[in-house]
């Protein structure tokens, strides 16, 4: 293993012939969390798009040349396949930022390691003695200059994340003033065909980098929302939407009867939740039984409407207005009528806090035999709430309750 010092650079071909390498970063210090990221940059050292950042909210680059294999509060491991890097990317910058009151001067020790096939090839060690008031630091780079090279950098910005992103030609997306239904997602920029590695990318093409958007892809993936301590309302907006189309569900004679309307297969999905407050009070919010909750009294959870037609463009919405008072919430959806299973509806959920941070998830692993889905759980962890993708399918309310252990008594019901 070869040890490097700040400013030192080396050709990767001097230590390995493989295009597959791992970058391991560890930081230990006074901060409760260090956010470690990889910025994929063009020939002018600018971001081609907001897809070209690999971090805790976006674990894979557009062509899979960089993947976040592991992350916790103090470390991250990135897997690189340099053979997949297209002409639009010339440099991979590995960075670290702090979002609390601490700076990199408070770092006790840190290191960056380069390894391949389990063998550590290079190591760069740093500490707070090399820094002052920096809150964002470029630790190291893998860059192309006739061949792929590695550089130990250790240079930072006092302004933190915003200055770092600005340095790379982007801006951090500002949070929305209030939670609003999401517009239809825009298609990602097209991936460029591979060109000779020396080709340059036009400067100034980076858009806003939305580091406040999390997508929970797999069961068990989670995100968090920080809680305020002043006892005021802090709306958490939960939006359920699905494919909104209708078609005749019958043909033949039924369709030929001129005076008979075609039966609609439009989905009637219902959003709801089971909740338990810190006080021990428990209940269910749902359209069934007209249990829409309350905005200004306990439980401070409110369901805005029952969209039976499937024609409401913003779907159904659940507001958790005092998340500091809850102990846990399980958000669910069930098919009341119109379609057979969740395979037919393309369900998707967006959770937005009052700062505009977003958590997205899709119901993309449906059980074709079940009509009831526990979508996510929300747990109060003291200073934040933890949102975890569940996407578990059950026969109905009672089976879901038995799984999560709320202990309700259930009886048959219908919507009025």
Average pLDDT over residues 329-335: 93
Residue 60's Cβ-side half-sphere holds a number of Cα atoms within 13 Å equal to 6
pLDDT at 387: 93
Does the N-terminal peptide bond of residue 151 adopt cis geometry, omega within 30 degrees of 0?
Answer: no
**SS3 label, residue 106:** helix
Q: Of the given ranges (337-346, 364-373, 374-383), which has the lowest mean pLDDT?
A: 337-346
Q: What is the pLDDT of residues 158-175, one digit of tens each?
A: 888 888 888 888 766 554
pLDDT digits (tens, 9 = 90+) for 177-189: 434 444 444 444 4
CA–CA separation, 23 and 18 (whole Å): 14
- What is residue 178's predicted lDDT score, i.e. its pLDDT? 38
Q: Are 386 and 221 in contact (CB under 8 A)?
A: no
Domains, the chain, in order of start with CATH, read 2-211 (2.60.60.30), 222-404 (2.60.60.30)
Averaged pLDDT for residues 140-169: 90
Tens digits of per-residue pLDDT, 113-125? 999 999 999 999 9
Q: How does residue 231 score in pLDDT terms, banded at 50, 70 and 90?
A: confident
Residue 184: the pLDDT is 44
Mean pLDDT of 74-89: 94
* Mean pLDDT of all residues belonging to the chain: 82
Residue 267: per-residue pLDDT: 62
For 278-307, give one letter per residue: b (16+ CB within 10 A) or e. eeeeebbbbbbeeebbeeeeebbbbbbebb
Which residues have C-beta within 8 Å of that of residue 38, sequence separation ≥ 6? 23, 53, 54, 55, 61, 66, 68, 78, 92, 93, 94, 95
Strand 384-394 vs strand 222-226: parallel, antiparallel, or unpaired? Answer: antiparallel
**pLDDT at position 210, please?**
56
Pairwise CA distance, residues 313 & 180, whole Å: 12
Which tokens belong to 202? 């036009």
Which pair of structure tokens corresponds to residue 62? 């557009």
Percent of the chain with pLDDT over 70: 80
Taking 50 as the threshold, does the pLDDT of residue 311 lie above it?
Answer: no
């Amino acid at each position: 293993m070869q040890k490097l010092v700040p400013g030192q650079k080396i050709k990767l071909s001097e230590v390995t012939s493989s295009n597959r390498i791992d970058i391991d970063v560890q930081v230990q210090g006074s901060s409760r969390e260090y956010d470690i990221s990889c910025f994929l940059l063009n020939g002018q050292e600018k971001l081609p798009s907001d897809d070209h950042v690999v971090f805790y909210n976006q674990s894979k680059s557009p062509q899979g040349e960089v993947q976040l294999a592991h992350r916790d509060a103090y470390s991250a491991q990135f897997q690189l396949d340099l053979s997949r890097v297209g002409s639009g990317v010339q440099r991979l910058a590995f960075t670290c930022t702090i979002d609390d009151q601490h700076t990199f001067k408070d770092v006790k020790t840190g290191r960056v390691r380069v390894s391949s096939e389990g063998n550590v090839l290079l190591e760069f060690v740093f500490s707070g003695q090399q820094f002052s008031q920096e809150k964002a630091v470029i630790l190291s780079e893998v860059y192309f200059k006739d061949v792929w090279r590695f550089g130990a950098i250790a240079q930072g910005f006092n302004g933190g994340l915003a200055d770092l992103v600005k340095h790379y030609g982007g801006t951090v997306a500002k949070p929305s003033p209030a939670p609003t239904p999401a517009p239809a997602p825009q298609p990602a920029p097209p991936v460029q065909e591979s060109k000779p590695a020396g080709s340059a990318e036009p400067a100034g093409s980076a858009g806003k980098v939305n580091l406040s958007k999390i997508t929970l892809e797999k069961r068990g993936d989670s995100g968090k929302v920080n809680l305020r301590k002043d006892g005021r309302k802090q709306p958490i907006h939960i939006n359920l939407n699905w494919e909104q189309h209708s078609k005749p569900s019958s043909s033949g004679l039924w369709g030929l009867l001129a005076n008979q309307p075609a039966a609609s297969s439009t989905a009637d999905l219902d959003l709801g939740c089971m909740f338990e407050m810190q006080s021990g009070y428990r209940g269910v919010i749902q359209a069934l039984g007209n249990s829409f909750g309350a905005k200004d009294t306990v439980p401070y959870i409110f369901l805005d409407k029952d969209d039976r037609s499937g024609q409401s463009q913003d779907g159904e919405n659940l507001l958790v207005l005092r998340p500091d008072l809850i102990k846990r919430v399980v958000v669910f959806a069930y098919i009341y009528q119109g379609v057979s299973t969740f395979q037919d509806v393309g369900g998707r959920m967006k959770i937005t806090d009052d700062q505009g941070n977003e958590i997205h998830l899709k119901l993309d692993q449906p059980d074709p035999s079940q009509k009831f889905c526990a979508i996510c759980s929300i747990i109060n962890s003291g200073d934040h709430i933890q949102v975890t993708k569940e996407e578990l399918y059950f026969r109905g309310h009672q089976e879901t309750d038995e799984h999560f252990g709320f202990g309700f008594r259930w009886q048959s019901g219908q919507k009025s």
